[in-house]
Amino acid sequence: MTCRTVFLTLIFAAAFSAGATGDDGFPPDPAGRCARLHADTGIPAYKGDFDADERRMICHAGYLLSLNAETLLPDWVLESVPKINLSGPGDRDKSSFKPDPQVVASSGKGRDGPLVVCSDDYTGSGFDRGHQAPAADFKYSQERTDESFYMTNMAPQIGIGFNRGIWRNLETQVRDWTELRGKLTVITGPVEKAPEFDVPVRGKLMRRRCGDREKSIAVPEAFYKIVYQDQPRRVIAFLLPNVKLDWHELPNYRTTVAHIEDLTGIDFFTRFSLRDQRVLETTLAPMWAR
């Protein structure tokens, strides 16, 4: 199948089909159905020893993610953001947080499935439901905006000063860059352990109200965001501790992709040769101009 065929297939494919499913109950071939999203970078892979049974790749129309069955959080969320996505009728005030329908459908137990995370799991926790792929990246469609509120796209974040501060500022900055550059690929995710930071959330767990009540959700110590431009080829990456921060300090949290790989065990930019990966991943980029 040619790349063009894959692209055309995805244009007409629904984000989730209730038809055929794989052995794990999820729709088959999520990577193929989301090929247009990872065409510029390749699909993130895992380095070294990892339990493949603990990961579930999920394709939605706007983003592709890898769900970690142990942490109940996405290891990474990948989105391709063209400028056209940033305007339209999508209104986040009309959206609501909800369990990912693919996870619910695959569980065989509805909302009580072991991988199902619901909005109530965050209630009273003191943490925000932090978007990894932000809702404002999908304003071109109310349906796509709604999709961004699936709980598989969330992770526990400090609210004031982080999710509602520097993290929101970073998301806005990426959209500003997209407006200037036409299209960017963005990969975002939590970092379970970031020993370089002194974070009060270290070791904190969120008790669950849905799914397997004996399984808690670990609060990430940090979050990363990798922003890639294909023409000309360049990348900028950020690693932010999950604490209240001054949003003006965003440039201080630039890092290399290689450092994020060391912390997460994830291999990014798999489309490229090892030589090209080294160039992209070991360079500490200056802040991009607005």
CA 175 → CA 13, 108, 137, 157, 171, distances in Å?
26, 38, 7, 21, 6
Contact between 256 and 237 (Cβ < 8 Å): yes
Catalytic residue among 38, 60, 131, 248: 131
How many CB atoms are closer than 10 A to CB 225?
A: 23
DSSP H or E stretch at residue 275: helix 274-281
Q: Burial code of 103-120, b = ≥16 C-beta within 10 A, e = fewer?
A: bbbbbeeebebebbbbbe
Residues 6 or more apart whose Cβ sits within 8 Å of residue 126: 159
Of residues 30, 43, 31, 32, the one with CA closest to residue 5: 32
For residues 29 and 226, give the distance between their C-alpha atoms in angstroms, rounded to a whole number. Answer: 25
Place of tokens 């990363």: 224
First to last CA, the chain: 39
For residues 116 and 134, give the distance between their C-alpha atoms in angstroms, rounded to a whole number. Answer: 21
Is 131 known to be catalytic? yes
For residues 129 and 230, give the distance between their C-alpha atoms in angstroms, rounded to a whole number. Answer: 31
CA 129 → CA 28, 85, 117, 242, distances in Å?
28, 22, 11, 13
What are the residue numbers of the active site?
Answer: 131
